[in-house]
Amino acid sequence: MADDNVSLALNGSLPMNSEIEQLERMKNNIKTTYIWVAWALGFPGNVLCVVTVLSMSGSSPATFLVSALAVSDGLTISIKLLVHQLARWKVYLGTVGCKSMFMSLFLTSVGNWILALICGERYVAVCYPLKKIYIVTRRRCQVSVAILTISNFVLFASMFYVMRDSNDSGFKCGTYRKYFTFWMTGWYWINTSISLFLPFTCIVLLTALIVRGLMRSRRERRSIFGKTTNGSKRVVNEGLSYSNIDSGGNGRCPNQRLLQEAEAVEKSITVMLILAASIFLVLALPACVYLLVYRQPAQGEVRDPVSEARWALFEQIQFVFIDFSHAINFFLYFLSAQRFRRQLYHVIRCKRLSRKDHQSMTLEMTNASHI
């Protein structure tokens, strides 16, 4: 009966039918082409990201997290391309194939949470710089990523193993009838909350706290290194030790140089964080809107076909935005930082860094270990 109603609605108006066909054609064109563009940008970029990070000596917790994010993003975009091609060419899936379809959701969730961990590491580095070496260690980052990966794998794999299977032909996947209601309601919100809403909220909050901490540290630094009258003493922080510099002597130039270097590092970190947060917000916002506003139709429910076609196009667009978030991280984190551009240049040319460049990059990484 529902199919008859839809058929009558489609045939009742030629303009309506034309709009639906146009929307369907746009959706199919986007679906056919975008994943290849995302993979062509994302997979080589993430491979270069991992190679560049591993080629650097003296890696920090932040560089480990960046390499883990690159691995996750590269796998995610590759798995999504594989799933896209399996569906397009109507490849036989069977029970094993349908129960393995959780991989793209699992890797997307892991990637978003690793990005949240990177923001957490930067928050500690900015707001608690003297405690960072004790709070954030490479070992703790490795354990955190391992726990994150295992917990997400168990959750997504168990849900798909219990609830999903192929139909009799083996070419299409579906949900067991007894789990269908939970799949469309309970699991729908569990999945979106864990893989999108929670990491999105953490990233936004941590980024706001980082910007606040940077602004506060800038005021404090200007207060410490500010100009004073001749003959007064100023305190310069040299790691964990402090020394007095006579502002009437040769202290002015070193002081100004330290201030300029500190502000340059601060500016670099701020640009990277604001850029990453803004891009993530823009790319994730359509998915948040779709998941919060659109209500999945109940079994047997009849809806306006034009409205459903519009929502189907919007759904495809939000997929494009989410998938490209796995393709551009390399460009955001590496091309916005000079030290990584320099390292990437040497990797591509298969050359070792000179001693001077290596010492310079090590100093930069010590001052700003994020990415």
Summarised one tens digit per residue, pLDDT across range 27-40 is 999 999 999 999 99
| Cβ neighbours of residue 280 closer than 8 Å, sequence gap 6 or more | 115, 200, 203, 325
The candidate with the shortest Cα–Cα distance to 155, out of 116, 102, 113, is 102
**Mean pLDDT lowest among 136-145, 195-204, 341-350:** 341-350
pLDDT attached to residue 260: 65
pLDDT attached to residue 229: 40
pLDDT attached to residue 271: 64
The mean pLDDT value for 70-77 works out to: 95
Helix (H, G, I), strand (E, B) or coil at 306: helix
The candidate with the shortest Cα–Cα distance to 269, out of 144, 125, 94, is 125
Q: Tell me the CA distances in angstroms from 271 to 115, 266, 336, 362, one per residue in order.
A: 16, 9, 8, 20
Burial (CB count <10 Å: 0-12, 13-18, 19+), residue 348:
exposed
Q: How far apart (Å, rounded) are the C-alpha atoms in residues 203 and 8?
A: 47
The candidate with the shortest Cα–Cα distance to 196, out of 308, 325, 68, is 325
pLDDT score of 77 more than 90: yes
Q: pLDDT tens digit string along 261-299?
A: 655 555 555 566 667 667 887 899 899 999 999 988 877
What amino acid is encoded at 207 in this protein? Answer: T
Degrees to nearest 5, angle at CA 345 with 334 and 274:
15
53 band by pLDDT with thresholds 50, 70 and 90: confident
Structure tokens at 62: 């932040």
Structure tokens at 266: 């601060």
Domains of the chain by residue range: 2-367
Looking at the DSSP bridge assignments, the partners of residue 236 are 243
Q: Tell me the CA distances in angstroms from 270 to 78, 213, 264, 330, 355, one per residue in order.
A: 31, 11, 10, 17, 28
DSSP string, 123-146: HHHHH-TTTHHHHS-HHHHHHHHH
pTM (two decimals) = 0.80
Q: pLDDT tens digit string along 298-327?
A: 777 888 899 999 999 999 999 999 999 999
Helix (H, G, I), strand (E, B) or coil at 74: helix
CATH class for the domain made up of 2-367: mainly alpha
